[in-house]
Amino acid sequence: MSQSVLVIAEIRGGKLRQVSLEAVHAANQSAGGAPVDAVIIGSGIIPVASELAAYVSGKVYAVDHPELASYNAPAYLAAVKGLLDERKPGRVFLGHTAEGKDLAPLVAAHLGAGQISDVIAVSDSADGSVYTRPIYAGKAFEEKAFSGGSGVVTVRPNNLPPAAQAASPAEVVDRDYAPASDLRSIVKDVVRKAGGKVDLSEAKIVISGGRGVKSSDGFKPLQELADVLGAAVGASRGACDAGYCDYALQIGQTGKVVTPEVYIACGISGAIQHLAGMSQSRVIIAINKDPEAPIFKFADYGIVGDLFEVVPLLTEEFRKVLA
């Protein structure tokens, strides 16, 4: 491909996101040896730009401005517009994250480009890159390619390997940002609900609760196990609908799709719409009182038992072996 390839990298909690390096990997693969550039947007981001530069073969553009401290759609689009217009990238890669999902369609619309969202694998064909993505939340997969024009790709966290270090670090180039005077969308406040907790979509281990947890307090033993394992806590629709937890935790065809190394389903029966959200996890463990629960048909390891008995014992065991 003769046109340039650009990654829009992302910062969360002051740190470069792992998925941005996975996006660089996808970009490198699609670029077929041509240099890949990256842009990073935020405030006080030069250290992160330098960190990113180690993985980037082209240039790293840094758009550093106090007004870009947190994500805002029109401001972030304004921050990359100049670059998009100058470089006219043939491919743009972002993470399929809250920020990337929001920004990607704006970038695609600005470029008049197609977009392939939520990509989990990239392969090569004679006609260029082929992108695999789940449909119906992972009940099936489709392979997609661009019809010929430019394209925007968002990559799902945790599915592609991160980019290897580049032969030599990329040059970091400062880009000016002119604050837009007529923003019709202003971010007033951000409450970090996930404060200190592991992010569900990027977690290597997910401990999930269903109706069987019986109350919001019922999530406590799950959280204790999660703390020992450095895991994130999720939930089924049943648990969310019953008001035991926030919808932000919901895993399933409605809700989030997760693909951790280990998924521990506690008190979850295994409705089809829930299975869609977690069945691509590498190892699935089911803990349920009901031996007939459909989840056991999908679990690598099953324990028929009371989660309130088993989960604290598991926490104890892991404490011992991980100490």
Partner 1 sequence: MNIFCLLKQTFDTEERIVIQDGQVSDDGVKYVINPYDEYAVEEALQLREKHGGTVTVVSVGPARAAEALRSALAMGADEAVLISDERIQSDEAGIASLLQAYISKQPFDVILGGNFSVDTGGGQVAVRLAAGLGIPHAASITSLDIDGTAASVKRDAEGDTESLELTLPALFTAQQGLNEPRYPSLPNIMKAKKKPFQTLSLDDLGVDAAAVAPLTKRLGLSLPPERGAGQLIKGTPAEQAARLVELLRTEAKAI
CB 265 within 8 A of CB 208: yes
Of the two residues 58 and 138, which places its CB atom closer to partner 1 in the complex? 138
Total Cβ atoms within 10 A of residue 24: 26
Of the two residues 80 and 113, which places its CB atom closer to partner 1 in the complex? 113
Torsion sign (Cα): 312, 315, 316, 317: positive
Total Cβ atoms within 10 A of residue 101: 14
The dihedrals phi and psi of 314, each to the nearest 5 degrees, come to: -65, -40
CB 267 within 8 A of CB 212: yes
Least distance in Å: CB of 167 to partner 1? 33
Least distance in Å: CB of 290 to partner 1? 13
Residue with tokens 């604290």: 312
The dihedrals phi and psi of 164, each to the nearest 5 degrees, come to: -75, 160
Angle at 98 between CA 95 and CA 101, to 5 degrees: 60
Of the two residues 86 and 306, which places its CB atom closer to partner 1 in the complex? 306
CB 251 within 8 A of CB 232: no
Least distance in Å: CB of 173 to partner 1? 27
Of the two residues 24 and 120, which places its CB atom closer to partner 1 in the complex? 120
Least distance in Å: CB of 143 to partner 1? 4
Of the two residues 10 and 64, which places its CB atom closer to partner 1 in the complex? 10
Of the two residues 28 and 259, which places its CB atom closer to partner 1 in the complex? 259
Least distance in Å: CB of 30 to partner 1? 14
- Name 189's Cβ contacts closer than 8 Å, sequence gap at least 6: none
Least distance in Å: CB of 3 to partner 1? 15
Total Cβ atoms within 10 A of residue 76: 23
234 membership: H or E segment, kind and range: strand 232-235
CB 185 within 8 A of CB 77: no
Least distance in Å: CB of 178 to partner 1? 19
Residue with tokens 């480009």: 113
Of the two residues 88 and 282, which places its CB atom closer to partner 1 in the complex? 282
Of the two residues 171 and 306, which places its CB atom closer to partner 1 in the complex? 306
Of the two residues 109 and 173, which places its CB atom closer to partner 1 in the complex? 109
CB 152 within 8 A of CB 94: yes
Least distance in Å: CB of 48 to partner 1? 18
Tell the burial category of 110 from Cβ atoms under 10 Å away from its Cβ (0-12, 13-18, 19+): middle
Least distance in Å: CB of 102 to partner 1? 5
Angle at 255 between CA 249 and CA 257, to 5 degrees: 95
